[in-house]
């Protein structure tokens, strides 16, 4: 198992630990086998368990910030955020356009799939923050809608 070399009072010893079973160990000192008792039980090392912290997207300022509106909430003015990272393929609105709930706003490519982002608010587009070809991350503000 393990080999050690000791020098005690000028005498050299070669010690080989052959096995450890609980509080008893079988060792060999200069070729002579011995069974020795250990004061305390030797604990075997275990592989540590990795504990990861909860992943929170960098776009969230606080955990309580909601990214999208709840279906039961009143829809009003505000921003349309990207639901996932991707590349903007098409922008279907411009500032000043009137939009209704369900209006097609942007087509986003993510993982080789096209995703249509529709409006969940009714109002007038006040600003479009992205252009065709822009890369966006999850939670990035794409369009602002005013009353």
Distance CA 138, CA 62 (A): 15
Alpha-helical segments (H) within 13-140: none
Quote the pLDDT of residue 97: 93
Question: Which pair of structure tokens corresponds to residue 131?
Answer: 């252009």
Q: Which residues pair with 19 in a beta bridge?
A: 26
Q: Report pLDDT digits (tens) over 41-53.
A: 556 667 777 777 7
- State the span(s) of the chain assigned CATH 2.40.50.100: 78-146
Tokens 């003015």, residue? 77
Tokens 């990272």, residue? 85
Region 108-130 average pLDDT:
91
Residues 64 and 124 sit within 8 Å (Cβ to Cβ): no
Quote the pLDDT of residue 105: 94
Quote the pLDDT of residue 42: 59
Question: Which pair of structure tokens corresponds to residue 50?
Answer: 């990795």
pLDDT at 16 over 80: yes
Longest dimension (CA), the chain: 96
Quote the pLDDT of residue 124: 92
pLDDT at 64 over 50: no
Q: How far apart are the first and last CA of the chain?
A: 77
Tokens 């008792």, residue? 37
pLDDT band at 73 (very low <50, low <70, confident <90, very high): low
Region 30-57 average pLDDT:
75
CB atoms within 10 A of CB 105: 22
pLDDT band at 128 (very low <50, low <70, confident <90, very high): very high
Task: Give the fold, CATH level 3, of 78-146.
Answer: OB fold (Dihydrolipoamide Acetyltransferase, E2P) (2.40.50)
pLDDT band at 78 (very low <50, low <70, confident <90, very high): confident
Residues 82 and 117 sit within 8 Å (Cβ to Cβ): yes
Question: Which pair of structure tokens corresponds to residue 98?
Answer: 């009137």
Quote the pLDDT of residue 146: 85
Quote the pLDDT of residue 67: 52
């Amino acid at each position: 198992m393990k080999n050690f070399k000791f020098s005690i009072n000028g005498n050299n010893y070669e010690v080989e630990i052959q096995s450890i079973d609980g509080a008893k160990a079988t060792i060999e000192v200069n070729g002579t086998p011995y069974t020795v008792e250990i004061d305390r039980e030797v604990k075997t090392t275990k592989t540590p368990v990795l504990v990861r912290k909860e992943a929170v997207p960098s776009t969230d300022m606080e955990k309580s910030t909601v990214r999208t509106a709840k279906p039961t909430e009143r829809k009003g003015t505000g921003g349309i955020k990207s639901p996932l990272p991707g590349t903007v393929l098409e922008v279907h609105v411009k500032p000043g356009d009137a939009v209704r709930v369900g209006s097609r706003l942007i087509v986003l490519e993510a993982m080789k799939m096209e995703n249509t982002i529709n409006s969940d608010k009714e109002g007038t587009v006040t600003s479009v923050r992205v252009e065709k070809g822009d890369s966006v991350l999850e939670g990035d503000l794409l369009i602002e809608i005013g009353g």
